[in-house]
Structure 1
Amino acid sequence: MFRLLFVVVVFALSGTCEIVGRRRAVPVIHLRGSHYEVGYDVGRTFSSLIKEFIATYANLRDFEKEYKTEPGKEAYEKTLANMKERYPYYVKEMQGVADGAKVPFYQLFLLQLDDIIGTINDNHIPRNDTGGCSSLGIQTPNEAVLAHTEDAFSETLNHFYIMSAHIIPTQEDRDHGAVEERFASLCYAGHMPGYTMGYNENGLVFSINTLSPMILKPGNTPRTFITRALLSAKNLEDATKILTDEGLGAGNGCSVNMIWTDENGERSLYNVEMAPDLTSNKSLLNIKKFENDVLIHTNKYLRLQLKEVDGPIIDSSNARLEAIFKHPTPKTRDDLQDILSDTTRQDFQVFQEKDDSIIKTIAAGVFDLKEKTWNIYINKPNASEPVAILPIRFTNIGK
């Protein structure tokens, strides 16, 4: 029997597009069911939020313009066909969101394509991408913490929710490779879970940083599908296989920050840089394990050698890295929260809260593996209380 438990934390929906400023609210929904059922109830529950975001998100208008061109339509159809072949159950999940929210499926799929469709007619032309997520991690005998600012276009402010799901695939979906999943992930309205921050019950906590290779691969797997699949990973080897995506490979780029906890309670800290491989049908990966140093990542490649975009995403990354390295080497959770809260620069801030900023920090997350909690802040984490504290459950370890 399908059961739905819905929890909302200090949250209100409005049918208007009224500008209400930064709200200290974290909507959380708990779900159980098949991919389609879970998607449907997310869409049904957050219909107003999803519709408002779709109506106001300026980038989607650009995606739709590209979609109407011949190369854009071709890239859309090729990518959709490949995802129906590789991840048909995630396509069903997205269809469930569209049906539940009563919005067109194609708009939600365009959101997953992101810069793949947004640059389809100028893929080889220098572009000014924008980004702002910062991730820091420490792994010591006394501390295991992953801290992250979730930064996005200003329209995303107040347009997100946390999805805590137990996916029980249908037999048809199992026949296509789906597995049972238990996870929690922050989601932008109308987007699939995975491409932000969260954890699964196999021992993984993670955060994502957008990266912008100059050359993308339309038709290949969007990073949002790869990070959605990452929520099912059982261990680092499984995660590496998902990120490699043998046979297609990533169509665009990102950085994945992970702390894995094994059956013995031992923890390991990793960063993975992922990019399209222009010479083969798989993702280009660089995996680094952090044992005695601090994990620090923003929105630029630090190890993979490839051509990136120019412009604000790199300028912002360099500025934030400079601000981060002015702090003493972090050794505790409080140290990480101080760094995440840095607003010392006038151009680009680690915690981006300026009213005129195109990119804003919509939330900050701190995963404390010692306490087994996911603390979510709307304001600076060193000067405010978390709006929500979610338990981290690794119930699948040892099974």
Structure 2
Amino acid sequence: MLSRTEKNFPKYLDEVRGQALGAGLPFETLFLNTLLTEIYFGLSQKPPQATKEDLGCSTVYINRPDVKVIGHNEDGEDLARTLGYVIDATITGDDGVEEKFTSLCYPGGLPGISMGYNFHGMIFSVNGLAGPTIGQAGSADFVLRAVLRASNIDEVKKIVSNTGFGVSVGFNINVGSIVDTSTQWSVEVAPDVFESKVSIKEIHESDDPEKSTYFHMNEYRHLDIEVETAERSRARFERALSLPVPTCAKDVRNILGDTDNTTFPIYRTVRPSDENATVCTGMFDLLNKRFDIYLDNPSNDTGPLLRFNMQCEA
């Protein structure tokens, strides 16, 4: 995997080396940290007790003429609530390509694997998807890191296709733009060796609440692939469908904060049936160009912990 990453994403591998140097940790430790999903679900001869039920994140889209919102629950280890961080980066590589982005990060991980936005006006959040693990393909975390440089949906598709390397595990990226707000996109990616399998679902602007709303949890919804749906993901999805169709940001926060199902709630907390939790909730308001992060349950009206004004500079 290291050899392939050297060929596939050498400058992002340098970012891992820089993190290791700054943290005073072995490079191998942080490189392995970027491969946790692959290790858990396929590459380890003695995998930890991780299953598709441990996958997380829930996303709600609204694309109405007057409300364009993508809300996202970032689910993971509860420790990330206090150890996670947001970086605002400007990077100019040796090739002269400049990257500017703001991204929520897990400790010791690459940006891009959770949620954030860039100076092209593109916004992203990621849902884990259960599927096969391909050992001879590109690392998913590095592919997601590369997506942060995309300036449009066509570039997103090109990056996640990762021609020549493919991708090792599957994921879904929820995509929007503050430049072209007419469409939002759900990008599902399935593993393959030479080129990833990619499906893009377009959520178009509509006055019809049913047509302007979309949900995505941890299952493939529009890519034709045979995988078993996780019970936890299915429970969150069905609960979201049972609630009134959201027409405003407050409705989205109420759905993402719902705890009606005490075994598999949408807003997750550590409990006997769940070792993971909702680390935080992100709300992207594309019309008002704002990105808010809620540390507590977003339905409580306590307000966001962090607020970012998204600007397009290119």
TM > 0.5 fold call: yes
Partner residue in 1 for 2:233: 317
Amino acid at match of 1:286: S
* 1:160 aligned partner: 84
Counterpart of 1:287, as a letter, is I
* One-letter amino acid of the counterpart of residue 138, structure 1: I
Greater shift, 299-308 or 330-339, is seen at 299-308
Mapping of residues 1-399 of structure 1, within 5 Å: 79-118=1-40, 119-121=42-44, 128-129=51-52, 130-169=54-93, 171=94, 174=95, 179-213=97-131, 215-262=132-179, 265-277=180-192, 281-291=194-204, 292-308=211-227, 314-356=230-272, 357-383=274-300, 384-396=302-314
Distance 2:18 2:214 in 1: 37
Identity of aligned residues (%): 31
Q: Give the TM-score normalised by the residue count of structure 2.
A: 0.91
* Partners of 2:282 and 2:161 in 1: CA distance: 27
Q: Is the 1:259–1:267 contact (alpha carbons within 8 Å) kept by the matching residues of 2? A: no
Q: Deviation of residue 349 (structure 1)?
A: 1.0
User: Is residue 164–residue 185 contact of structure 1 (8 Å, CA) maintained in 2?
Assistant: yes
Q: More helix per residue: 1 or 2?
A: 1
Give 1:122 shift. Answer: 5.5
Q: Offset of 1:86 from its aligned partner?
A: 1.6
CA distance in 2, matches of 1:317, 1:360: 13
- Residue 68 of structure 1 is matched in structure 2 by none
Report the residue type matching 2:221 in the other structure: L
Query: In 2, Cα distance between the equivalents of 1:190 and 1:209?
Result: 19
Q: Deviations over 1:218-246 (max 9, x none)?
A: 13112111110000011111111001101
Shift of 1:180: 0.6
Instruction: Give the secondary structure class of the aligned counterpart of 2:110.
Output: coil
**How many angstroms apart in 1 are the aligned matches of 2:182 and 2:222?**
23
Distance 2:44 2:73 in 1: 31
Structure index of larger Rg: 1
Amino acid at match of 2:73: T
Match for 2:260: what amino acid? T
The residue that corresponds to 1:48 in the other structure is none
Tell me, in whole angstroms, the C-alpha distance in 2 between the residues paired with 1:369 and 1:237. Answer: 19
**Alpha-carbon distance in structure 1 between the residues aligned to 2:33 and 2:294:** 25
Normalising by structure 1, we get a TM-score of 0.72
Name the CA distance, whole Å, in 2 between partners of 1:306 and 1:355. 32
In 1, distance between residues paired with 2:107 and 2:64? Answer: 36
Cα distance in 2 between the residues matched to 1:89 and 1:138: 36
Structure 1 gap ranges (5+): 1-78
Which residue of 1 is the match for residue 208 of structure 2?
none
CA distance in 1, matches of 2:104, 2:51: 26
Q: Residues 8 and 165 of structure 2 are in contact (CA less than 8 Å); yes or no, is this contact kept in structure 1?
A: no
Deviation string, structure 1 residues 325-360 (Cα, Å, up to 9, x no partner):
111111111110110110000111111124543110
2:207 corresponds to? none
